[in-house]
Structure 1
Amino acid sequence: MSEGSHLGTGAKGLGYDITSIQSIADWNGAGFGNQAWTVEVKPVGGSYSILHTVNHHPLDGGGATKIVLADKSGVLASGIESIKFTASHVAGSVGNSFVWRELDVFGTPTDQAPSR
């Protein structure tokens, strides 16, 4: 399953700086808490590229997991106009699946074009 969101180009037409991505997977009493997914970003005028792949399977049964993607610089990706998430199979879970309870993307409009 893939799901995308077109963020637009922001107030200055330069896209958005993605500062963090947080996800929680859980289902009451069932084995849907592990996570496996890929996030891709598309810069303004560019093409999609993989930002990060998650493959987190700490649970043997019920429970929840939380993933936080962040960078020491404060910015995961800059000048982004679109973001896409693709769920992967989670071996050993019910139906090889997981359930996102929450998926949050944080950021701000890009303030200036990157120097070349």
Structure 2
Amino acid sequence: MLTHNSWISPMIYDHVWYDKPPLTYWALMICYKLFGISDFVSRIPNTLIAGASVSLMYHMVYRIKQSVPVAVTSAILLMSTLQFWYISHAVITDGFLFFFSLAIFGYAYLAFTNNDKSS
């Protein structure tokens, strides 16, 4: 995508690749433009989204349970699982999928149980 300057269509090995959502590829291209192309830079977007996922887990559990120790324990448990650690270090689209799925399910639960006190 970077060599073709194609921001719309995800490309892998010079072939259009519509099987995965483009958000991960866009984040990769932005990092490549800012920091250059390297293995370390390739892992920056998923590492950042993993940190956001741990923060979102804390936020969701705190909003649901209103307990800091339970929220911290949930965030630590998420951070320490092997699959989450792997996804946060690999260059795959699953990190973004997990983040947005957690947000959707968490906020839907809050809405359906009327625990959303902020609105």
- Name the TM-score, length of structure 2 as normaliser: 0.30
The structure whose residues are more often strand, as a share, is 1
- The structure with higher relative contact order (CA 8 Å, sep 6+) is 1
- Name the TM-score, length of structure 1 as normaliser: 0.30
Highest Rg: 1 or 2? 2
The structure whose residues are more often helix, as a share, is 2
